[in-house]
Chains A and B, each alone.
Chain A
């Protein structure tokens, strides 16, 4: 089965940002309610991977009553296979800074932070320059908003929003229990909006052109465009802005090397889709009317038939075992046991039925792990083991 939907390139995110001063001035002259409505009608959903409606996020924080609130830009881009946020921050930083200030205006925050992963330390000088130019303009138009960079230090889990707050508070990056949610209890216990870099860049587009331009792109439940980080066995690795809702078959037609065996959608914490399911898989957020629809932070890794899926899974599990914060038992012990388990099956120390026990373990992790890391190990594990079982055994 193939869809008649064609892959459509879009050019919003990296389009010039020369008019950011105008967009900022115009936006802060509008009421918070107007801006929230604009976002809600655009149906923009978070571009970090989780897909929470951005307008609702801003609305909840704007309703929280507190003198101090924060806006945080999550630039702890650590998911294997994603590299779009760095490109946004280095090519169109003023879009992100403008969006942060507009968010500050909407929710009543005077301080913003960019949590930048330690691996991107080299972005700092340019970004600092942009921030000081930005703050200079804010002063000119009497907008009281400060932006600082907070550096991470090499911890994947800090991309989880509450772990990120803990990290900024000077602690181990261990996720908190939810609720309370960041909109009422975020950084330093204050109401906080935390958005992915790309989400903020899209709000710039929406404030500049209006919600309709954005809403007209994409499909139901998955409006707008999205940056895709394309890597692996492809003749054209790189970053591409595409409309949401595309079929994976069309994607592979465009980016595959003619021998694509499987695509990992959404990084190590996402799903592996084998060739036989390309046609029935769409890229976007899950809705009641769509078929199989996979959300993604934009990581698309292609594997051709020369690749061993055992090695792929082994690499992911090693990653998760190292990056698990160790706080909750299902994730800490689960990741270790999964890795040991697949190696034991491969070596013939355990029989093939042991894989089913491991699958049940991932179900337990999905139900009981405290945060998205432990819960999502099941995604790649089950999609690889179920589709490439023989490669796990022989």
Chain B
């Protein structure tokens, strides 16, 4: 069995196969795979006995359910008003400069994707960003470089596969 099919089957066993279990299953696949491939969506549709278009329609509605291939670490920088006022652009520049990618892109080694997102709810500690589910606040370009360095060390270098 394809590993994704197996993951989907396990998630359906765990959450149930009703329509109301769709979101937890989609989230479970994204947690593992970082995104929902067409294959995953068709498999989920089969497992829950739903039209694939319904799964696609639901999945693409939610901004955290990516449907394009994403890096291992998804960086989401808050771009809403307070973060924007408190230096979001400098944070973006620091990340772009360090990873050599622009917003919406993924590093060639597939480790990092850079996205902007709407209000993360840390306006009092702006600017803020998420890396996967970890929150980082009161960012400065220096702080961002330190944080990214720690992730790069985890990976043993920028171009390490």
Contacts of A118 in B (CB 8 A): 27, 62, 64
Partner of A86, one of B18, B82, B121: B121
The answer to whether B61 touches A173, judged by C-beta atoms less than 8 angstroms apart, is: yes
Stretch of A28-36, A51-59, A97-105, A228-236 lying at the B interface = A228-236
A120 CA / B64 CA spacing, docked (Å): 12
Stretch of A73-81, A127-135, A354-362 lying at the B interface = A73-81
Chain B 4-48, CB within 8 Å of chain A: the 1/0 string? 000000000000001111111011000000000000000000000
Q: Given known contacts A153-B63, A171-B19, is B82 in contact with A82 (CB within 8 Å)?
A: no
A82 CA / B123 CA spacing, docked (Å): 7
The answer to whether B124 touches A172, judged by C-beta atoms less than 8 angstroms apart, is: no
Q: Given known contacts A169-B19, A170-B20, A301-B82, is B133 in contact with A83 (CB within 8 Å)?
A: no
The answer to whether B119 touches A80, judged by C-beta atoms less than 8 angstroms apart, is: yes
The answer to whether A170 touches B19, judged by C-beta atoms less than 8 angstroms apart, is: yes
Partner of A81, one of B21, B63, B123: B123
Chain A residues 108 to 126 lying within 8 A of chain B, measured CB to CB, are: 117-122
Determine how close the nearest CB of chain B comes to the CB of A68; give it in whole angstroms. Answer: 13
Chain B residues 104 to 139 lying within 8 A of chain A, measured CB to CB, are: 117-126, 130, 133-135
Contacts of A232 in B (CB 8 A): 81-82, 85, 123
Q: Given known contacts A80-B80, A170-B20, is B62 in contact with A229 (CB within 8 Å)?
A: no
- The answer to whether B157 has its CB under 8 Å from any CB of chain A is no
Partner of A237, one of B26, B63, B124: B124
Determine how close the nearest CB of chain A comes to the CB of B91; give it in whole angstroms. Answer: 16
- The answer to whether B84 has its CB under 8 Å from any CB of chain A is yes
A188 CA / B79 CA spacing, docked (Å): 35
Partner of A188, one of B20, B23, B81: B20
Interface of A is mostly: mixed
- The answer to whether A160 has its CB under 8 Å from any CB of chain B is no
Contacts of A239 in B (CB 8 A): 124
The answer to whether A83 touches B23, judged by C-beta atoms less than 8 angstroms apart, is: no
Taking CB as reference atom, which chain B residue is nearest A151? B27
Chain A 43-87, CB within 8 Å of chain B: the 1/0 string? 000000000000000000000000000000000011111110010
Chain A 246-275, CB within 8 Å of chain B: the 1/0 string? 000000000000000000100010000000
A322 CA / B40 CA spacing, docked (Å): 25
Chain A residues 305 to 334 lying within 8 A of chain B, measured CB to CB, are: 307, 311-312, 315-316, 319, 322-323, 325
A87 CA / B62 CA spacing, docked (Å): 24
Contacts of B84 in A (CB 8 A): 311, 315
Determine how close the nearest CB of chain A comes to the CB of B22; give it in whole angstroms. Answer: 3
- Report the interface size for chain A: residues with CB under 8 A from the other chain: 50
- The answer to whether A156 has its CB under 8 Å from any CB of chain B is yes
Name, among A83, A156, A319, the residue most crowded by chain B CB atoms within 10 Å (CB to CB).
A83
The answer to whether B133 touches A122, judged by C-beta atoms less than 8 angstroms apart, is: yes
The answer to whether A170 touches B23, judged by C-beta atoms less than 8 angstroms apart, is: yes
A83 CA / B85 CA spacing, docked (Å): 17
The answer to whether A122 touches B123, judged by C-beta atoms less than 8 angstroms apart, is: no
Contacts of A172 in B (CB 8 A): 57-58, 61
- The answer to whether A167 has its CB under 8 Å from any CB of chain B is yes
A163 CA / B19 CA spacing, docked (Å): 16
Partner of A78, one of B22, B23, B119: B119
Contacts of B52 in A (CB 8 A): none
Chain B residues 39 to 95 lying within 8 A of chain A, measured CB to CB, are: 57-58, 61-65, 79-82, 84-85
- The answer to whether A154 has its CB under 8 Å from any CB of chain B is yes
Q: Given known contacts A80-B123, A81-B119, A170-B58, is B135 in contact with A154 (CB within 8 Å)?
A: no
A268 CA / B81 CA spacing, docked (Å): 9
A167 CA / B27 CA spacing, docked (Å): 13
The answer to whether A156 touches B118, judged by C-beta atoms less than 8 angstroms apart, is: yes
Partner of B121, one of A83, A155, A238, A325: A83
A362 CA / B4 CA spacing, docked (Å): 46
Q: List 25 A-B contacts (CB under 8 A).
A: A83-B124, A118-B27, A118-B64, A119-B121, A119-B130, A122-B134, A150-B23, A151-B24, A153-B27, A153-B62, A153-B64, A154-B64, A155-B62, A156-B118, A170-B18, A172-B58, A232-B82, A237-B125, A307-B85, A312-B81, A315-B80, A315-B81, A319-B118, A322-B63, A323-B118
For the A-B complex with A154-B65, A231-B124, A319-B118 known, give 19 more contacts whose Cβ atoms are closer than 8 Å: A77-B121, A78-B118, A81-B81, A119-B117, A119-B121, A151-B23, A153-B62, A154-B117, A156-B119, A171-B19, A173-B62, A231-B82, A264-B81, A268-B80, A315-B79, A315-B81, A319-B81, A319-B119, A322-B63
- Listed in ascending order, the chain A residues whose CB lies under 8 Å from chain B are 77-83, 86, 117-122, 150-156, 167-173, 188, 229-233, 237-239, 264, 268, 301, 303, 307, 311-312, 315-316, 319, 322-323, 325
- A-B CB proximity, top 10 nearest: A170-B22, A154-B64, A231-B123, A237-B124, A153-B62, A154-B63, A172-B61, A153-B64, A83-B121, A121-B133
